Amino acid sequence: MTVAIIDIETTGLNPLQHRIVAIGVKLSDKDEIIMDESEYYLLVNFWNLVEKEGIEKLIGFNIDFDWQFIKLRSLYHRLKVKHFRRYQGRVDLRQILNGSSGRYVKGTGLKDYCRFLGIDVPEDDADGKDVPELWKAYEETGNEEYKHKICEHLRRDLERTWELYKILLDCGLIEE
């Protein structure tokens, strides 16, 4: 079974009003950052990658947020959600760590758990909450540096989520 760590960056928190600007996919041997000015093509490329790599299991930190966006934004663009049933069993690392509610509680974000477990988090690291302004600045100026900052943040979060996943796997909190 092909397992993938998934993380997205968006222009806001509501998939009915905001869009996806980047999708990160981490497989055991490689990372893929998918970014496009067109959300339609971004999602087409994502679903093509899912098909090509045979991804069957989605893992993430607060994966339900990511999945809801991917699902609804794909629906908005009338794109086929490939292998929909497979993703009903996605693994949410936040829910495993926070208990059954899985809700956000102050001090229980990805960076908080990473610091707790000794996973590197630079103090100057961008945050997901910075992405809407970075994307807006990119759209207004065309300056690729803004896109680069979003990609770098996403790449770091993918790596941290992967490290967290491996620790939870090693400690028996997740079974393969």
- Tell me the average confidence (pLDDT) per consecutive run of 10 residues in the chain, 176 residues long: 92 97 94 96 96 90 93 96 74 88 72 92 83 96 95 94 96 88
Kindly list the domain boundaries of the chain, sorted by start residue: 2-170
Global pTM?
Answer: 0.92
**CATH numeric code, 2-170:** 3.30.420.10
SS3 letters for the chain?
Answer: CEEEEEEEEECCCCCCCCCEEEEEEEECCEEEEEECCCHHHHHHHHHHHHHHHCEEEEEECCHHHHHHHHHHHHHHCCCCCCCHHHHHHCEEHHHHHHCCCCCCCCCCCHHHHHHHCCCCCCCCCCCHHHHHHHHHHHHHHCCHHHHHHHHHHHHHHHHHHHHHHHHHHHCCCCCC
Instruction: Tell me what percent of the residues of the chain surpass a pLDDT of 90.
Output: 73
What strands, in cross-sheet order, belong to the sheet with 30-35?
30-35, 20-27, 2-10, 55-60, 91-92
Task: Please tell me the predicted confidence (pLDDT) of residue 84.
Answer: 67
Over residues 79-124, the pLDDT tens digits come to 998 776 667 778 999 989 988 665 667 778 899 999 999 998 887 7
